[in-house]
Structure formats: C-alpha cells, structure tokens
Amino acid sequence: MKKPNFIQENVSLAPLTILRLGGAARFYADIADESALLEALAFAQTQSLALLILGGGSNLVIADTGFAGLALRIKPRGIHQQSDAVVTVAAGEPWDEFVAHCVAHNWAGIETLSGIPGLVGGTPIQNVGAYGQEVSATIQTVRAYDRVAQRFVHLSHAECGFAYRQSIFNTTARERYIVWSVTFGLRVNGTATWHYPDLQKRFTTQPSLHEVRAAVLDIRRRKGMVIDEADSDTRSAGSFFKNPSLSVDEFAALNERAANIPHYPNANQFKVPAAWLIEQAGFPKGFTAGRVAISTKHSLALVNRGGATTAELIALMRQIQDGVEKRFGVRLQPEPIFVG
Ligand SMILES: Cc1cc2nc3c(=O)[nH]c(=O)nc-3n(C[C@H](O)[C@H](O)[C@H](O)COP(=O)(O)OP(=O)(O)OC[C@H]3O[C@@H](n4cnc5c(N)ncnc54)[C@H](O)[C@@H]3O)c2cc1C
C-alpha cells in the first residue's frame, strides 16, 4: 500500500511530550477522523509497523533513539451532551478544558481532577486520579477502535477493569484499543468533593465546585503540577513513581528499617507515600544530576532542566530506585509509559 499523504516521515516526538524528550518517529500522523485512522492502520498493517498512540504526551517517556513504527496523535474534538450531565467527549479534547466545562455547568464528579494535563482519551488509560477523585468514578462507557476485532466497540465501565492507576488499557489489553470517545456521567448540581487533607485545610464549610477547582489549581501550581512553559519544574511526567502498596509482611519489614512511616490502609495493604521514601533515602527536592533533576517543588516529579536526554532521565530514575531500595527494601515502580 502506498503511504497516505497525511503520514509524515521522521518526525521528532520530543516537542509532542511535556518532558520534551525522545527521538523521532519513523512515520507520524495527526488523526482527525475515523477514515484517517482506518487508512493509517491499514498502512501500518501492510508495512508491519508497530503503532504508538499519542495523546497530550504528558505521561510518556520516549527513548532517545525514537520510535521505529507509526505514531498517531488522536485529535478529534467535541463535547456532546446526551442528557442532563451525561456527556460524550472526543478523545482529542484537552482534559482540563472539559473539567472547566463541567464546573461551569455545575456538574460534579471531576472537579478535583482540575489541572491534569493531557487529553480526554488518555484519562481512562491509567485511570487518572488526584485529590480524592478518580476518573473511573464518572466513566460510563469508552468507545474505542479494537485492533484485534478491527472495528469500533463500546466498552462498559466494568469491561474497562479500573483500579488504582490501572485499567485493561495499560494491563491485560495494552495497545489493543484506541480510545475514540469517553462517556461520562456527572452529577447535576452535585456537591464538590473535598475530603482530601490538602483541601480540607482550606475550607470549613462545603465549598462550591468553582472553589474546589480554584483550590486544586492553586495547590497544583505550588507543586509545579500545572504546565507552565516558563517554569522548568513543570517539564515532567507528573508523579514519576507510584505509591507502593505493601502487604502486611512487607509493611512490617519496612517498619524494622525506620520509625514513623506515613501510611494509609488500603484493603489488606498499606500504601506508603513514594515522596516520603525518596526524601528519606537522601533525594531532597531540587536534587540535580546534570540536566535532569527532582523538581524543586515536588519530590515525585523528575524534570528536564533543558537539553537533557532520555538516557539521563532513566539514569536518575534508577539512582532513586536503587537508593530507596537500599535504604528501605522497597523497589519503586515508575508511573509513566516508556516507549522504545
Ligand atoms: C505536570 C503533570 C501533572 C500530572 N498530574 C497527574 C495527576 O494528578 N494524576 C494522574 O493520574 N496523572 C497525572 N499526570 C499524568 C498524565 O497527565 C495523565 O496520565 C494523562 O491522562 C495522560 O494523558 P495524555 O493525553 O497526555 O496521554 P499520553 O501521555 O500521550 O499517553 C499516555 C499513554 O496513554 C496512551 N494513550 C493516550 N491517548 C490514547 C488514546 N486515545 N487511545 C489509546 N491509548 C492512548 C498512550 O499510548 C500512552 O500509553 C500528570 C502529568 C504531568 C506532566
């Protein structure tokens, strides 16, 4: 099959990621509609090319050697109201613009997810969460292209298999589905969520959705968690490490190594803040290794100070993982997706 004209060759992927890291894609296309998607997939199939789906590039770490296959950026936009606060949102819609839209309509359910970068289609992949809400609580269905069945399908909430930073899209069915739109069920005139400690500190009575959104954005800005081109502390992939969930025995072993470990019971597990482990293992905020560093505002964010390589970032990641493991016997797991 001849290469469709809209597919470009040797396109640098670094500018398409928030970290601004990574080499070029052998082939690349912006995908605006279903027919372009199907044409691009047919090209990939005839050329036996691996596929990389890009959203906003906020959770991606791309190798310096780039990607030898076809990278597709999913671009369709649109928010379609089905009924009351049930809305179907195209995968290419910027997530935070959708949150603002819901707050403006007084639809509750995603207000504490304000300020998370990326596109709507990326949110089900790792079931994004922050400040007491997870996107899965409002997702009713996901419409996606199924690369195995070779057709568009609707996946119910249950079929998405959501858990902490997890869904079928990043586990059992990794790379099988291309999310095309997501249907959310929000609460008309619902009350805002504010049970998370950082939010409780700010209010004494039930805040409005607007107030919670403003508070979350303020907290996130102070932590460098709202993208700001002028601030290299925001050139990150967000939280780089997941908070480890330890079994009773693992948590007991951890307690033998240190006292007063902050923890939250979670089913039969103990969740321990990765940020605390990192700081206590000797990696303070602002810890720098050449052109990469830990953000000066947030212990969990690894940042590109400018001109760095992915290899440098990975070396810092391993240094932190090894340091935490040596001190506490716990191996931190990274949150972003690694490509190449
Ligand atoms: C400063 C900062 C703060 C952040 N804060 C948070 C936070 O508070 N909570 C949180 O959970 N995350 C957070 N993140 C991580 C990230 O923003 C989310 O995971 C986001 O949902 C990723 O969306 P994206 O469109 O950028 O996806 P990308 O980074 O482009 O892609 C991420 C993964 O999803 C896949 N993907 C993307 N779109 C699609 C699609 N349409 N179909 C199929 N697969 C797709 C990609 O192939 C890749 O595997 C943060 C990141 C940054 C940089």
Whether the per-residue pLDDT at 98 is higher than 90: the answer is yes
- Give, using CA atoms, the residue closest to atom 50 of ligand 1: 238
Each residue of 210-248: pLDDT tens digit?
999 999 999 999 999 999 999 999 999 999 999 999 999
CATH of the domain at 156: 3.30.465.10
Which atom of ligand 1 is nearest to 227's Cα? 1
C-beta of 173 in contact with ligand 1 (< 6 A): no
One domain for residues 210 and 305: no
How far is the centre of ligand 1, averaged over its atoms, from the C-alpha of 59 (Å)?
A: 4
**pLDDT tens per residue across span 261-311:** 999 887 889 999 999 999 999 999 999 999 999 999 999 999 999 999 999
Asked if residue 119 and residue 64 are part of one domain, the reply reads no
Separation between Cα atoms, residue 178 and residue 41, nearest integer Å: 11
pLDDT band at 331 (very low <50, low <70, confident <90, very high): very high
- Ligand 1, atom 49, residue with closest C-alpha: 337
Are residues 201 and 123 located together in one domain of the fold?
Answer: yes
pLDDT reported for residue 31:
98
Instruction: From the CA of 234, give the closest atom in ligand 1.
Output: 1
Asked if 101 and 197 sit in the same domain, the reply is: yes
Residue, of 99 and 82, whose pLDDT is higher: 99
- Closest by alpha carbon to 28, among 46, 61, 52? 52
State which of 167, 190, 222 marks the end of a domain: 222
Q: How many domains does the chain have?
A: 3
Question: Could you give the dihedral angle defined by the CA atoms of residues 280, 284, 290 and 291, in that order, rounded to the nearest 10 degrees?
Answer: 120
Domain span holding position 57: 8-74
Query: What pLDDT, on a 0 to 100 scale, did the predictor assign at position 265?
Result: 84
Instruction: Give, to the nearest 10 degrees, the angle between helix 95-104 and helix 209-222.
Output: 150
* Ligand 1 site, residue 72, Cβ cutoff 6 A: no
Domain's final residue, options 188, 203, 222: 222
Could you say which of 200, 222, 244 is where a domain stops? 222
Give the number of the atom of ligand 1 that is nearest the alpha carbon of residue 165: 11
- pLDDT tens, 167-224? 999 999 999 999 999 999 999 999 999 999 999 999 999 999 999 999 999 999 999 9
Same domain, 294 and 277: yes
C-alpha of residue 205 to centroid of ligand 1, in Å? 33
| Residue 2 belongs to a domain | no
**Active site amino acids:** 165, 239, 335
Within a domain: residue 137? yes
Give a yes or no: residue 24 inside a domain: yes
- Whether residues 87 and 218 share a domain: the answer is yes
Q: Do 202 and 134 belong together in one domain?
A: yes
The tens digit of pLDDT for each residue in 26-64 reads 999 999 999 999 999 999 999 999 999 999 999 999 999
pLDDT at residue 252 is higher than 90: yes
- Give me the pLDDT at residue 94, please: 98
- 92 and 197 share one domain: yes
Judgement on whether residues 101 and 218 belong to the same structural domain of the protein: yes
pTM above 0.85, yes or no: yes
Question: Are residues 209 and 323 located together in one domain of the fold?
Answer: no
Q: What are phi and psi of 136, to 5 degrees?
A: -60, -25
Residue 96 has pLDDT above 90, yes or no: yes
Q: Flag whether 83 is in a domain.
A: yes
The CATH number linked to 277 is 3.90.78.10
